[in-house]
Amino acid sequence: MRADTSELDAFAARVGRAPTRAESLVSSVLTASAAHIATEAKTRAPVRTGFLRGSIAVVPTGRLSVAVGATANYAAYVEQGTSRMAARPYMRPALEKELPALKTALHGIAGLVAQ
């Protein structure tokens, strides 16, 4: 008696490709989300000279990680405030706006890879 294992073989092949496929998809989603966060932060950043807004950038920090931040030396003071200046957040609201879409995309990837 011989069993048809073609479906099992196809499944094994998909599982074997899953880590590479997942990594590629997650990298793409993270890069896109980081770009959305940076764009939103630039929109929300208070502008006096434009230096803070212009210093907001996305920097890849690893295979599956990116950082979004501002390089202006006073960026944290604007975001968090000081004892003499109220906070004018721009980065956190941008992150909070993008987070639901990022979570949805990552859950979608998990579903795709599991198939």
Q: What is the pLDDT, as a whole number, of residue 18?
A: 61
Tens digit of each residue's pLDDT, the chain (115 residues): 444 545 555 655 655 566 777 888 889 999 999 999 999 999 999 999 999 999 999 999 988 889 999 999 999 999 999 999 999 999 999 999 999 999 999 888 887 766 6
Q: How far is CA 14 from CA 3, 4, 11, 22, 105, in A?
A: 20, 18, 5, 11, 20
Q: How far is CA 111 from CA 18, 25, 67, in A?
A: 11, 12, 26
Distance CA 23, CA 10 (A): 20
Distance CA 9, CA 62 (A): 33
Q: What is the pLDDT, as a whole number, of residue 16?
A: 58
Q: What is the pLDDT, as a whole number, of residue 41?
A: 98
Dmax (CA) for the chain in angstroms is: 83
